[in-house]
Amino acid sequence: MEDNKPHKRRIHYSGTHPKKFEEKYKEHNPEKYKDTIEKVIAKGSTPAGMHISIMVDEVLNYLDIKPGMSGCDCTLGYGGHTSHILEKFEGKGHLVSLDVDPEESKRTEERVRAKGYGPEIFSIEHTNFANIKEVAQKYGKFDFLMADLGVSSMQIDNPSRGFSYKIEAPLDLRMNQESGITAADRLRELSIDEIEGMLVENSDEPYASEIAKVIDRHNRKKEYIKTTTEMKEAVEEALSFLPKKELDEAVKKSCARVFQALRIDINGEYEALESLLMALPDVMNPGGRVVFLTFHSGEDRLVKRAFKEDQKMGLYSEVCKDVVRPGQEECFRNPRAKSTKLRWAIKA
């Protein structure tokens, strides 16, 4: 029987190497082009459309997973940690993984199912980890739980998502593009004091006042910031008083912090984390182990404080005294690991 399916030509690009996200067809197919993927990672880069899981060995070590256990991965993402956890089950146990991003979780589920993990051992819930109590009511209490609080590289690198100031795109930044308002819309409704407060609270931005003034001026003139490039230009304008030799580096750092602050705000990340931390002792079995990977001081402070307070109340028998950091080799292979802090706790 003749196949009438139209032939899809691969994307052509200028030069010897693809530069745009959509042109990197080999990087989008890691199973098919393993050699290319290994070369990209060896150079200290993350392949397009892919996420390199951070501190996998340390996570597995502290979770101490045994066959037959029940666990929860609160942040499915690309499925790296989930896949390693499932391997530890040796065919016995159950893992439920959570994710609010319908676009990426669908792709991840296909990858994980292709490895032979059916619903009897692996389930996905399209929900925020703030709803962990409802998840536990459905699946029972957990022997282990982990949460990688970083943004997945697939979201950062995909220009249509607006997570990066390096790529022209609508200023969106929603984890779930099917609900909520965009970062651009959010900026329009905030006062100058609210903008400054958001930048300080969510990313410790040293130039929060200057940046807030520029954004507010745009709002009052009804020249609203709608794209990632316009947001970067607003930061450049706010920092223009700095010496030229310092400006480029300062703009890069402030842009990263501004985008982080906006992302945290519109996705309600701190509120969701606080809900998870508050519910955590109630959803864990005695002796259950918990691991968090955090990527900035705001997240880490919340986790550290919750663990400490709950240990005082007798809810945890043990919590980490010092944060665990990734090794030098991992930071070279995956520069996005550099800011990672791991904290763990054991349910009493």
Chain Cα centroid distance, residue 164: 13
Do the strands 284-294 and 341-347 form a parallel or antiparallel pair, or are they unpaired?
A: antiparallel
**What is the CATH architecture of 176-266?**
Orthogonal Bundle (1.10)
Question: CATH 3.40.50.150 in the chain, residues?
Answer: 56-153+270-347
Could you read off the pLDDT of 94-148 as tens digits, one per residue?
A: 999 999 887 778 888 998 999 999 999 999 999 999 999 999 999 999 999 999 9
| Residue 44 confidence class, pLDDT cut points 50, 70, 90 | very low
Could you read off the pLDDT of 5-16 as tens digits, one per residue?
A: 455 555 555 665
Give me the chain's average pLDDT, please: 87
The pLDDT value given to residue 27: 47
Q: How far apart are the C-alpha atoms of 131 and 135, rounded to whole Å?
A: 7
Instruction: Look at the chain and count its residues.
Output: 348
Helices (H), ranges, the chain: 34-42, 56-63, 80-89, 102-114, 132-139, 153-157, 183-189, 192-203, 208-220, 228-238, 244-266, 269-283, 297-312, 328-333
The pLDDT value given to residue 56: 94
Could you read off the pLDDT of 187-222 as tens digits, one per residue?
A: 999 999 999 999 999 999 999 999 999 999 999 999
Radius of gyration of the chain (CA): 21
Q: How far apart are the C-alpha atoms of 275 and 209, rounded to whole Å?
A: 30
Give the CA distances from residue 313 to residues 132, 282, 303, in Å, rounded to whole numbers and listed in that order: 21, 13, 15
56-153+270-347: CATH topology is Rossmann fold (3.40.50)
The pLDDT value given to residue 52: 81
| Residue 39 confidence class, pLDDT cut points 50, 70, 90 | low
Question: CATH 1.10.150 in the chain, residues?
Answer: 176-266
The pLDDT value given to residue 163: 77
User: Could you tell me the maximum CA-CA distance found in the chain, to the nearest angstrom?
Assistant: 71
Kindly report the pTM of this predicted structure: 0.81
The pLDDT value given to residue 38: 54
